[in-house]
């Protein structure tokens, strides 16, 4: 049996502030549209941020004019290590240039430099800019919250951040005066957990499948308006018994198009066949494409892999962790379906550990292996050698 006694089986219930969810959700939408968003930290300081993906030729200058502060670039430490600015690790790093204070002086970060440093598709050949300084920032800082917001928006995990010196202690007033959405850093940090607590069953229908005719699909929707997660319930599993379960992250290219770059489509259809053959079980189809980085970033990672890098390296070159998935939604869905104990159909030991951390008792691992092809041999080898998958 797999368990993690150091983490409680269930966290204490907390009141969900829907206004907080709305604030973060609106900030995510604004960031994706290319708008500036204001972030307030616990000490009352304020910064304005824009996603690097939205940085136009004059975006940094406009952010400087808006705030009166010096813009810096916030990236993950993974990205900073790829740039050879510091050793590998986790967290967020601030990249800046020394120079006179703004607005009186010239110099500092430019939009072109922000693109070149954060986005491997835009980086020109040649050395890093002269005078570039890198510093790890504290959790809860403007820079850390800005990168987390970009990651939640499924954008590259990088943002241009400028402090607002005149807004200390008066964040709401400043944001209203400049027509900028305001969100608190702490709310961004807690967002994933709060959203999971709002998951609700919103639809349930019988959907006969090829080889599994006694099947129904249950849809779960979070209150933030984000994508739905699905439970594919095959047969009539008994909640009093350990249920055969599979956690499957959506894969547009593999599941729908039959891509040969991965084994996702085979895993999906193979799990349905196996669960049906054993009589009953549940497959959770989780909305976390590309190991949690989103479809667009997965396609970017594919382009990097085509240059000779493996899956793990490609994600880290983009600034992501090797695997950004979270399994709180899966645990919550299982609980709402009435299942507290599972036999997990997987080759990934991290799924065993994470599900146990989330309060689901994992009694057994059921192997889930499929033959490779010439397009995914390297991908499967990387999963075994670098991610510890059991084949």
Residue 71: cis peptide before it, omega within 30 degrees of 0: no
Q: Which of 56, 36, 35 is nearest to 122 (CA)?
A: 56
Q: Do 73 and 109 contact (CB within 8 A), yes or no?
A: yes
Alpha-helical runs (H) found in 219-361: 264-277, 289-292, 295-305, 311-317, 328-337, 349-357
Phi, psi of 271 (to 5 degrees): -65, -40
Active site residue 210: no
Q: Which of 221, 204, 174 is nearest to 45 (CA)?
A: 174
Name the active-site residue from 148, 263, 323, 357. Answer: 323
Q: Do 368 and 346 contact (CB within 8 A), yes or no?
A: yes
How many residues can be counted in the chain? 391
Q: Kind and range of the H or E element at 31?
A: helix 18-33
Name the active-site residue from 170, 325, 343, 357. Answer: 325
Angle at the Cα of 318 from the Cα atoms of 316 and 322, rounded to 5 degrees: 30
Give CA–CA dist 34/142, Å, rounded: 18
Count of H-run helices and E-run strands, the chain: 14, 14
226 torsion bin: left (phi>0), alpha (psi -120 to 50), beta (else): beta
Angle at the Cα of 226 from the Cα atoms of 223 and 229, rounded to 5 degrees: 95
Q: Where are the beta strands (DSSP E) in the chain?
A: 37-40, 46-51, 72-76, 92-96, 133-136, 158-163, 181-184, 200-206, 215-221, 229-234, 243-249, 281-286, 341-345, 361-366
Active site residue 323: yes
Q: Which of 113, 118, 199 is nearest to 151 (CA)?
A: 118
Residue that the structure tokens 């005719």 belong to? 213
Pull the structure tokens for residue 302: 């594919």
What positions carry a catalytic annotation? 323, 325
């Amino acid at each position: 049996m797999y368990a993690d006694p150091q983490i409680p089986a269930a966290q204490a219930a907390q009141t969900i502030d829907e206004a907080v969810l709305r604030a973060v959700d609106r900030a995510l939408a604004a960031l994706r549209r290319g708008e500036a968003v204001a972030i307030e930290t616990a000490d009352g300081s304020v910064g304005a941020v824009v996603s690097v993906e939205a940085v136009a030729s004059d975006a940094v200058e406009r952010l400087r004019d808006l705030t009166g502060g010096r813009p810096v670039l916030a990236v993950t430490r993974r990205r900073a290590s790829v740039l050879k600015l510091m050793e590998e690790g986790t967290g967020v790093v601030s990249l800046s240039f020394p120079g006179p204070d703004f607005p009186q002086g010239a110099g500092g970060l430019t939009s072109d430099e922000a693109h070149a440093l954060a986005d491997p598709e835009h980086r020109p050949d040649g050395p890093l800019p002269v005078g570039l300084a890198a510093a790890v920032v504290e959790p809860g800082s403007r820079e850390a919250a800005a990168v987390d917001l970009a990651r939640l928006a499924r954008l590259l995990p990088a943002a241009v951040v400028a402090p607002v010196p005149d807004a200390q202690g008066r964040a709401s007033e400043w944001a209203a005066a400049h027509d900028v959405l305001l969100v608190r850093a702490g709310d961004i940090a807690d967002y994933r957990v709060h959203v999971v607590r709002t998951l609700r069953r919103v639809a349930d229908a019988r959907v006969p499948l090829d080889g599994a005719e006694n099947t129904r699909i249950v849809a779960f929707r979070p209150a933030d308006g984000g994508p739905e997660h699905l439970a594919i319930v095959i047969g009539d599993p008994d909640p009093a018994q350990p249920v055969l379960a599979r956690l499957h992250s959506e894969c547009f290219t593999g599941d729908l198009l039959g891509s040969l770059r991965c084994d996702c489509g085979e895993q999906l259809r193979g799990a349905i066949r196996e669960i049906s053959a054993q009589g009953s079980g549940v497959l959770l189809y989780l909305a976390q494409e590309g190991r949690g980085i989103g479809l667009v970033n997965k396609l970017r990672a594919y382009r990097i892999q085509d240059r000779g890098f493996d899956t793990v390296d490609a994600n880290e070159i983009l600034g992501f962790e090797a695997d950004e998935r979270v399994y709180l939604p899966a645990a919550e869905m299982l609980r709402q379906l009435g299942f507290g104990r599972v036999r997990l159909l997987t080759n990934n030991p991290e799924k065993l550990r994470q599900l146990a951390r989330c309060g689901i008792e994992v009694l057994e691992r059921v192997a889930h292996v499929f033959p490779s092809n010439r397009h995914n041999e390297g991908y499967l080898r990387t999963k075994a050698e670098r991610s510890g998958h059991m084949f």
